[in-house]
């Protein structure tokens, strides 16, 4: 079995669990639920030894393959699932179409999803129990929002060129839009990217989206939208 370190609050994890579902690989993957105190935003938190062994980065998702490889970021994990186990169903093996799809993955992941998690970490500084609330930077949050806006605009230009019903790029976009609605409903990304909004309103009806709705990180490790296998 592959092992995937998971929390329902992570849109990076969601990208991977949607890929697993779209490829029909649920029976091949053991889901290992992680717990995260809010202080993760500003300090190193305690980790279980098997988690840090799976990922020296100590971020989720992390995937351990059946032959013991550690894959420590969502895009590499999704490519591994598609290329090694999924018969290239969500992205072709080579050629221009592969790179077009991976270009969407990069804008959605490094452009939108990363800015969302950086803003979350910054906002957590403001919590009462934060050791350093004075370090909160409104300028940094603005910078992340500006980056997100540029990336939504680029995705808006790309949507009309999509030819597939689903691929790795659209799975990354679905995770990014879902996190905008879950954590930042005030952002109004739909006004910035109306074609993305129309695409999302259809895409969000896929079972892989409906079965992986985000939620707060469970304090009880057994509370998860996806029960452990095995």
Ligand X SMILES: N[C@@H](CCC(=O)N[C@@H](CS)C(=O)NCC(=O)O)C(=O)O
Determine, following the binding rule CB under 6 A, whether residue 174 of this chain makes contact with ligand X. Answer: no
Contacts of 150 (CB under 8 A, 6+ apart): 111
Shortest separation between residue 80's beta carbon and ligand X, angstroms: 13
The total of other beta-carbon atoms located within 10 Å of residue 159's CB is 18
Q: Is residue 33 a contact point for ligand X (CB under 6 A)?
A: no
Please give the backbone phi and psi of residue 147, each rounded to the nearest 5 degrees, phi first.
Answer: -65, -45
**One residue of 2, 4, 6, 10 binding ligand X per CB under 6 A:** 10
Residue 111 touching ligand X (CB under 6 A): no
- List the structure tokens of 216: 């707060």
Task: State the minimum distance, in angstroms, from the CB of residue 225 to ligand X.
Answer: 15
Q: Which residues contact 196 (CB under 8 A, 6 or more apart)?
A: 152, 155, 156, 159, 173, 177, 189, 190
Instruction: Please identify, using beta-carbon distances, which residue of 61 and 174 lies nearer to ligand X.
Output: 61
Q: How many residues bind ligand X (CB under 6 A)?
A: 11
Residue 80 makes contact with ligand X by CB under 6 A:
no
Is residue 182 a contact residue for ligand X (CB under 6 A)?
no
* Smallest separation, CB 191 to ligand X (Å): 25
- Binding ligand X (rule: CB under 6 A), the pick from 17, 33, 109, 224 is 109
Distances in Å between the alpha carbon of 42 and those of 74, 118, 124, 133? 22, 11, 8, 10
């Amino acid at each position: 079995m592959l092992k995937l370190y998971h929390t329902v609050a992570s849109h990076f994890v969601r990208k991977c669990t949607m890929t697993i579902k779209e490829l029909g690989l649920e029976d091949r993957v053991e889901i290992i639920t992680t717990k995260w105190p809010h202080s993760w935003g500003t300090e190193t938190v305690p980790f279980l030894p098997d988690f840090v062994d799976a990922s020296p980065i100590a971020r989720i998702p992390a995937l351990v393959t059946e032959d013991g490889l550690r894959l420590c970021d969502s895009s590499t994990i999704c490519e591994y699932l598609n290329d090694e186990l999924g018969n290239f169903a969500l992205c072709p093996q080579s050629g221009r179409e592969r790179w077009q799809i991976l270009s969407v993955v990069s804008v959605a992941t490094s452009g939108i999803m990363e800015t969302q998690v950086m803003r979350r970490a910054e906002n957590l500084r403001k919590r009462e129990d934060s050791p350093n609330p004075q370090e909160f930077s409104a300028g940094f949050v603005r910078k992340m929002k500006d980056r997100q806006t540029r990336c939504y605009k680029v995705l808006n230009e790309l949507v009309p060129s999509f030819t597939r019903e689903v691929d790795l790029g659209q799975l990354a976009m679905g995770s990014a839009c879902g996190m905008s609605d879950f954590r930042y409903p005030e952002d109004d990304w739909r006004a910035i990217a109306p074609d993305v909004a129309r695409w999302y309103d259809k895409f969000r009806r896929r079972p892989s989206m409906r079965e992986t709705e985000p939620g707060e990180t469970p304090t009880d490790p057994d509370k998860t939208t996806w029960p452990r296998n095995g």
